[in-house]
Amino acid sequence: MRYKLRTLVRLCLPAVVSVIVSGCASTDEYSHIRNDLNALRSAQYAQKDEIQDVKKRVAIIETQKQQQQSKPAKPDVSDAIRESQESLNSKFEHLNREMQQLQGRYDERRHYVDKMIGESKTDRDVLRAQIEHIENDMKELRLKMGRVDAALQQKGVGIVPSRNESNRETPPTTQPPPTVQPQPEDGNVKTLYDAAIKDFQDGKFKEARDKFYRLVKDNPANQLTGNSHFWIAETYYREGSYEDAILSYDVVVKKYPGNAKIPAAKLKQAQAFIEIKDPRTAKTILQQLIEEFPKSAEAEAAKKTLQGITTTPPPHKMDPAKKLQEGKPLPKTKPIRPVANSTRQADE
């Protein structure tokens, strides 16, 4: 029974941790988590039944012990009774210890299941809040586009017809040929990469990000693609867009497992989680970084960062979903300076 429980926990724990670090859980992953939680509950119920069975056995042994003590001992069987009592006492102590161990494991599993349920609910609320926030942004963009179209129409500038007007007959207009941007060849990839790095060092984060995105799109199999994803995440981090930075760092970790930027990506991803007030996830990522890359400079920085993470629960805050429903924007945090040696300003 113990072996089955340990095996079940080892199978469930990596899947759950992977869902928390990524920050973007899908419906199938939530179904998988729900199945794992149901399996843990079944194991808990089995342990509870086993504890009840042990209690019944202990009660029977105590009853037999009392009955033996109430009977007058005969001189010729006193030794046998004494040995029987000692055997019963030994069994009772053994069963009592076993019952305490089972009770302890049951309480531990129950606490773990309650914790996982709470974390899953929190992740769903955060995702729901992010989706609603994106929908609100899209509505605002549509309104702005409508105002721009109205202003252009007043000035007599041609407007792209909407879907409802697409079926109407319009006179043919002469449009200039589309501008074709030159695609970088293999020999020009390094030049584009160096230009993006230069923009990043000059604080032109948007320009640098556009160049990195162009490099990734046009050269998906190039050896600099993984590094480009890392620097894309860095531009988001420097701008304070920590959620976008977390997702971009995750691309480096999962899509490019042999890339040299993985330790730095994990460290900066943990720092981004700290910025959005999620020290628990940050602690998990830092511990993984120390285990996977113990001799790296990022591991040393992770140890220092772990010492500064408080283990006390954060003060109660309003649910992000409720805050968006009330029309209040999500708070933006200020960017922090990166830890020394966490990201090497190198090209490769």
Higher pLDDT: 299 or 149? It is: 299
| C-alpha closest to that of 215 among 193, 187, 182, 248 | 193
Query: Looking at the structure, do residues 101 and 192 belong to the same domain, yes or no?
Result: no
* CATH number for 209: 1.25.40.10
Query: Which residues, other chains included, contact 89 with Cβ-Cβ below 8 Å and sequence gap of 6+?
Result: 65
Q: Are residues 191 and 320 in the same domain?
A: yes
In this predicted structure, the answer to whether residue 284 has a pLDDT above a threshold of 90 is: yes
Q: What is the reported pLDDT for 161? A: 40
Look up the domain containing 211 and give its range.
186-325
Retrieve residue 200's tokens. Answer: 């990043």
How many CB atoms lie under 10 A from the CB of residue 19? Answer: 20
Mean pLDDT comparison of 17-31, 166-180, 187-201, highest-scoring range:
187-201
Token pair, residue 213, equals 């995105």
220 and 100, same domain (yes or no):
no
What is the C-alpha to C-alpha distance for residues 47 and 56, in angstroms, rounded to an integer? 14
Asked if residue 119 and residue 45 are part of one domain, the reply reads yes
In a domain, 120, yes or no: yes
What's the half-sphere exposure (Cβ side, CA atoms, 13 Å) at 1? 15
How many domains would you assign to the chain?
2
Percent of the chain with pLDDT over 70: 67
| Amino acid letter for position 294 | P
Nearest to 199 by CA among 220, 242, 228, 240: 228
Residue 2: pLDDT over 80: no
Asked if 267 contacts 340 with a C-beta cutoff of 8 angstroms, the reply is no
At a CB cut-off of 8 Å and minimum separation 6, what does 198 contact? none
Q: Can you give the pLDDT at residue 347?
A: 45
Q: Per-residue pLDDT tens for 17-51? A: 565 555 554 677 778 888 888 888 888 888 888 89
Question: What is the reported pLDDT for 158?
Answer: 42
Q: Report CA torsion sign: 232, 233, 236, 238.
A: negative
Q: What is the mean pLDDT of residues 245-263?
A: 93
Residue 54: inside a domain: yes
pLDDT at residue 118, rounded to an integer: 75
Kindly state whether residues 26 and 116 are assigned to the same domain.
yes
Give the pLDDT band of residue 291 (cuts 50, 70, 90): very high
Residues 201 and 308 in one domain: yes
Q: Is residue 50 part of a domain?
A: yes
Per residue in 62-121, pLDDT tens? Answer: 888 888 777 655 555 677 788 888 888 888 888 888 888 888 888 888 888 887 777 777
Residue 226 and residue 114 in one domain: no
Answer with the one of 67, 101, 131 that is the final residue of a domain. Answer: 131
Average pLDDT over every residue of 302-329:
62
31 lies in a domain?
yes
pLDDT number for residue 256: 93
d(CA 342, CA 238) in angstroms, rounded, equals 14
What band does 153 get if pLDDT is binned at 50, 70 and 90? low
Query: Is 223 within a domain?
Result: yes
- Domain membership of residue 152 (yes or no) is no
Size of the chain in residues: 348
Residue the block writes with tokens 């993470």: 309
The dihedrals phi and psi of 109, each to the nearest 5 degrees, come to -65, -40
Residue ranges of the alpha helices (H) in the chain? 2-22, 27-70, 78-155, 186-201, 205-218, 225-239, 242-255, 262-275, 279-292, 297-308, 320-325
- Confidence label for 182 from pLDDT (cuts 50, 70 and 90): very low
Query: Which residues, other chains included, contact 124 with Cβ-Cβ below 8 Å and sequence gap of 6+?
Result: 30
User: Does any domain span residue 280?
Assistant: yes
Q: Which residues contact 347 (CB under 8 A, 6 or more apart)?
A: 193, 194, 197, 227
Segment 135-157 shows an average pLDDT of 69
Phi, psi of 263 (to 5 degrees): -60, -45
Least confident of 135-149, 165-179, 201-215: 165-179
Residues whose CB is less than 8 angstroms from the CB of residue 277 and which lie 6 or more positions away in sequence, other chains included: 314, 317
CB atoms within 10 A of CB 31: 10
pLDDT beyond 90 at 229 = yes
237 pLDDT more than 70: yes
pLDDT at 324: 47
Q: Is residue 85 a part of any domain in this protein?
A: yes
Token pair recorded at residue 182:
């030159």
pLDDT at 156 over 70: no
User: What is the model's pLDDT at position 16?
Assistant: 57
Round the CA-based radius of gyration of the chain to a whole number and report it: 31
Question: What kind and span of H or E run contains 77?
Answer: none
